Structure 1
Amino acid sequence: MYIGLLEQSGLFNAGEGANRQLDGVQRMDASIMEGAHLKAGAIASIEGILHPITAARLVMEATNHVLLAGPPATAFAQYYKLEPLSKGRALRRSAGRSHASMAVAQTMELYRAMVKSQRMEKDQHGTVGAVALDRAGTVAAGASTGGVDSMLPGRVGDSPLIGCGVYADNQSGAVSMTGIGEGIIRLVLAKTMCDRLATGASPTVAARQVLRLLVSRIKGSAGALVLSPDGRFAIRHVTPYMAAGWWNGIGSPKVRGQFS
């Protein structure tokens, strides 16, 4: 998928550009799923790896598991000699950070202060994701993220949770989510959208209905890439902007920063 290109660009909150948690550490999440056999792989809280999405794919293809997390997930990626994050960029990004060796009590104190002062950046997140349909009719979905701003160490969002941030099934479609993960998890949004597709809803209708549910029930914030097995797709969001693009194999890809 093109997710790897976005991870290495440093322009998005994934891979080289991943956010840091409040202890100064970049812990990244990713997942991938294919719709023919419902195989999936995911990585949570991986450190120092440029392409978490590749690690997630290795979980799917080289193991019988779905999710690996924490230091063992990092060791798994290192075993397969996945490319590390740039040391130079890591040093530049850490310059001026004072949270690198915080004790738990100090981290909690900072987190509470940020919540109280409303410094939780609700609309500034940049999970990268993709949905795809191949010539054999198999749909797939993936996502990679560095999480949200102002995260407690160990926080895991929706991206590595199959059914929440990502889902794919040839009988319904494929979905990749971006946004505030806590809300996406609580409503299991990716699977919920696929279930709407399975009942005959178009990608546009499925995305619109489920995102409205997210807002009405818990005032959540998210965007979605939704693809049906027949190639119809929708890009929807309840945030002011969401950069996304699409390509049908003909001509040049099209990219926009906002979708109705």
Structure 2
Amino acid sequence: MKKILLLFLVSISMFFYGQKKYVVVIHGGAGTILKKEMSPELEQKYRDKLKEALTKSYEKIKEGKSSLEAVEAAIVVMEDSPLFNAGKGAVFTSDGRNELDASVMYGKDKSAGAVAGLTVVKNPIKAALAVMQKSEHVMMIGKGAEQFSKNQGLEIVNPKYFWTQHRWDALQKVKKAELKANQPNAFNNYHCPSYYWVDRKFGTVGCVALDKEGNIAAGTSTGGMTNKKYGRVGDAPIIGAGTYADENIGISGTGWGEFYIRTSAARTVAAKYEYQNKDVKTATEEVMLEIEKLGGDGGMIALDKNGNVAMTFNTEGMYRGMVTEDGEITIEIYK
């Protein structure tokens, strides 16, 4: 009888408390990511780097550091890797430059910082944090943001630091297809011509973390879109579009930025959670469906104050991972 009672109590406990509590969730971009096109060696590199990002971030949480520090730790790992379209692995603009964007938000007081169009700051997420913590502004761009970063002592590099062969080759492929189609920059009602997606991957990186004090932070960093023109800026540095955090939930997106901006994607997820009582999975799925109906694609991650997580995408894959409060790491790539 005692054994039956014990099993009953365990079952009840699992019903109410059995769901794992996650403290960090990350993404490394979404897009046409197919296992058949991925060598075992390259896949392992992605898995190892995602694990490193999660481990560094989790260490901050375990030490009692803030969720902001945990977000920074994860994103710096991915910015320093040529695997992702952020920092070192940033894609090239049409004129052969690397222009970097990033943003961060702290849910406790809704403070935020963002930068866009950086070309010499090694870690844009650090610049976004500096804007948030050491200025009266939310967003800085271009030369001004770079001067501010220098003044704050952030690491400045030669633009050649961001040059990688595979990103350069991707730019040449798109340009070749563009020339063949004889449609330079032929956007029509926000829809890109097919040649634009020769390298159809959104390598933006992001992280959402929940610290021991119950505070949530979210951050996103990107190199933008291959062959982008005219100083184009996407959703990653825009608070409410690619990044958002409040006292309830944090969100980071990756995908075709124009559609995340037009739908205020990250903020809309938070609004659905707060005002419609939607869980993180439902809220992200509904927003991704809206983006898809408009013609966009990509993905997003979300983490709420109770440790519930969502990793939602409408592409063939998304580099993603999460870690529980007990340090259990999960990493996924394909659909």
What TM-score results when the alignment is normalised by the length of structure 1? Answer: 0.88
SS in 1 for 2:80: helix
Cα distance in structure 2, aligned partners of 1:251 and 1:74: 37
Instruction: Find the partner of 2:284 among 192, 195, 207.
Output: 207
Tell me which of the two structures has the higher relative contact order, counting C-alpha pairs closer than 8 angstroms and 6 or more residues apart: 2
Q: Does the alignment pair 1:23 with 2:95?
A: yes
Distance between the aligned counterparts of 2:263 and 2:199, measured in 1? Answer: 18
Contact in 2 for aligned 1:139/1:169 (Cα 8 Å): yes
Structure 2 counterpart SS, 1:84: coil
Q: Aligned in 2, Cα 1:121/1:32: closer, same or farther, shift over 3 Å?
A: farther
C-alpha separation in 1, matches of 2:232 and 2:159: 23
The answer to whether the Cα contact below 8 Å between 1:29 and 1:146 also exists between their aligned partners in 2 is yes
Matched residue, 1:236: 312
Q: How does 1:74-93 map to 2 (within 5 A)?
A: 74-85=146-157, 89-90=161-162, 93=165
Measure the CA separation in 2 of the matches of 1:190 and 1:181.
11
Alpha-carbon distance between aligned partners in 1 of 2:77 and 2:217, rounded to the nearest angstrom? 17
Cα distance in 1 between the residues matched to 2:161 and 2:114: 25
Indicate the RMSD between aligned Cα atoms, in angstroms. Answer: 2.3
Partner of 1:124: 201
Matches within 5 A, 1:5-154: 5-85=77-157, 89-90=161-162, 93=165, 110-112=184-186, 116=193, 118-121=195-198, 123-154=200-231
Distance change in 2, residues 1:159/1:258 (3 Å): same
Q: Which letter does structure 2 place at the counterpart of 1:82?
A: L
Larger Rg: 2
How far residue 214 of structure 1 moved from its aligned partner, in angstroms, is 1.3
Is 1:156 aligned to 2:233, yes or no? yes
Can you give the 5+ residue segments of structure 1 that lack an aligned partner in the other structure? 99-108
Cα distance in 2 for residues equivalent to 1:92 and 1:178: 21
- Is the alpha carbon distance of 1:95 and 1:221 closer, same or farther for their aligned partners in structure 2, counting shifts above 3 Å? closer
Q: Quick one: percent identity of the two aligned structures? A: 34
Q: Any idea what the Cα deviations from partners look like across 1:181-210, whole Å, max 9, x if unmatched?
A: 001100010000000111311111111111
What is the TM-score normalised by the length of structure 2? 0.69
Instruction: Letter of the 1:124 partner, please give it.
Output: K
User: Post-superposition, which runs of at least 4 consecutive aligned residues in structure 1 deviate over 6 A?
Assistant: 94-98
Q: Judging changes above 3 Å, is the alpha-carbon distance between structure 1 residues 166 and 111 closer, same or farther for their aligned structure 2 residues?
A: same
Measured after TM superposition, the shift of residue 123 of structure 1 is 3.3
- Equivalent residues of 1:123, 1:221 under 8 A apart: no
Alignment of structure 1 residues 163-174 onto 2, 5 Å: 163-170=240-247, 172-174=248-250
Where structure 2 has 5 or more consecutive residues not aligned to the other structure, the ranges are 1-70, 173-182
CA apart distance, 1:87: 6.1
Bigger fraction of residues in helix: 2
Q: Where does residue 63 of structure 2 map in the other structure?
A: none
Deviation for aligned residue 1:153: 3.4
The residue type paired with residue 111 of structure 1 is N
